[in-house]
C-alpha cells in the first residue's frame, strides 16, 4: 500500500495542495520526491491514487491519477463511549478504536471519572485519529464528540440505538448476543459504553437497565478502560450475525 496522506478536499480537482502538516510528513519524514506515487484520502470515505507533483519546504502538491472505489461504511455502525483514561492511554484507546472501525467516540463524565478532557486534549486526539487512519488504510475518520454526562448520552443513545454496557456483573457475551438476536434489535447501530477504572456507579447501571441497555461482561478479569474498549469492539466486529 502506498504511503497515505490526509487531504480533506474534493478530489474533483486534479491537483491537490496538502496541508502544512501533511506536506512536512511527505517531504521531511518520508522524503518523497516529484514522481513518487502516494495515496490520499478525504476522511469521508473516499481515496485516490496520486503522484507527487511538487515539494517545497512547507508545501507539497499531488496530482490525482484515479479514484478508488468507495467502500461501504462498516456495518454495524458502532458508537463507542468511555470514561477517559489517564495520560497516553487515551491516545492508545483512540488509535485502536479507529483501527477497529468505531464510527464515533464520546468521552463520558461519570460519577467515578478521573479525567475530564478539555478542547485542546480532544483536538490532539483528533490528530491521533488521522494518524491511525493513515496507518490502517481506513478512509473515514472516527468522529470525536464533546464530553457528555451519563444521563444525556444514555437518553439519546437508547432512543435510536441498541445500547451495550460493559460491566463485570453483566451476562456472558455470547448469551447477550443471543438475547439481542431474539429481541430483533437494531443491527445497524450499536452504542457501547465503558466505565471508569472504579466502575460504573450502581445508579448508572440501574439507569442503563431501565433504558433497555444490554449489560455484558467481557470476561473474568478486571480490564482497564482502553483494554475493555478494544475487547468490546473486537467482540462486536467479529461476532457472527452482527
How confident is the chain (242 residues) per 10-residue block, as mean pLDDT? 94 94 95 97 96 94 94 82 96 97 97 94 97 96 97 92 90 69 62 95 96 90 95 82 45
Q: 74-105, pLDDT tens digit by residue?
A: 778 899 999 999 999 999 999 999 999 999 99
Q: What are 30-57's pLDDT values in tens digits?
A: 999 999 999 999 999 999 999 999 999 8
* Euclidean distance between CA atoms 204 and 110, whole angstroms: 8
Q: What phi, psi does 229 have (nearest 5°)?
A: -65, -45
pLDDT of residue 177: 66
CA distance 78 to 207: 21
DSSP state of 242: -
- pLDDT, position 219: 87
> Phi/psi of residue 78, each to 5°?
-110, 125
The full set of domains in the chain, from first to last, is: 4-67 (2.40.240.20), 77-238 (3.40.1280.10)
In this prediction the pTM is 0.91
Amino acid at each position: 500500500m502506498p504511503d497515505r496522506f490526509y487531504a480533506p478536499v474534493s478530489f474533483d480537482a486534479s491537483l491537490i495542495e496538502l496541508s502544512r502538516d501533511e506536506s512536512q510528513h511527505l517531504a521531511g519524514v518520508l522524503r518523497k520526491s516529484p514522481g513518487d506515487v502516494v495515496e490520499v484520502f478525504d476522511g469521508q470515505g473516499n481515496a485516490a491514487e496520486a503522484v507527487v507533483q511538487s515539494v517545497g519546504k512547507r508545501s507539497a502538491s499531488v496530482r490525482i491519477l484515479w479514484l478508488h472505489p468507495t467502500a461501504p461504511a462498516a456495518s454495524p455502525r458502532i458508537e463507542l463511549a468511555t470514561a477517559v483514561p489517564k495520560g497516553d492511554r487515551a491516545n492508545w484507546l483512540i488509535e485502536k478504536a479507529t483501527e477497529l472501525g468505531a464510527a464515533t467516540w464520546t468521552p463520558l463524565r461519570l460519577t467515578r471519572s478521573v479525567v475530564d478532557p478539555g478542547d485542546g486534549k480532544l483536538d490532539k486526539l483528533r490528530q491521533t485519529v488521522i494518524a491511525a487512519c493513515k496507518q490502517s488504510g481506513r478512509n473515514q475518520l472516527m468522529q470525536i464528540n464533546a464530553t457528555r454526562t451519563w444521563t444525556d448520552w444514555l437518553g439519546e443513545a437508547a432512543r435510536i440505538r441498541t445500547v451495550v454496557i460493559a460491566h463485570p456483573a453483566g451476562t456472558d457475551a455470547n448469551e447477550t448476543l443471543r438475547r439481542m438476536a431474539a429481541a430483533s434489535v437494531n443491527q445497524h447501530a450499536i452504542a457501547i459504553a465503558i466505565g471508569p477504572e472504579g466502575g460504573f456507579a450502581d445508579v448508572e447501571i440501574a439507569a442503563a437497565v431501565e433504558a433497555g441497555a444490554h449489560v455484558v461482561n467481557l470476561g473474568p478479569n478486571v480490564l482497564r478502560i482502553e483494554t475493555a474498549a478494544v475487547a468490546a469492539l473486537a467482540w462486536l466486529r467479529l461476532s457472527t450475525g452482527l
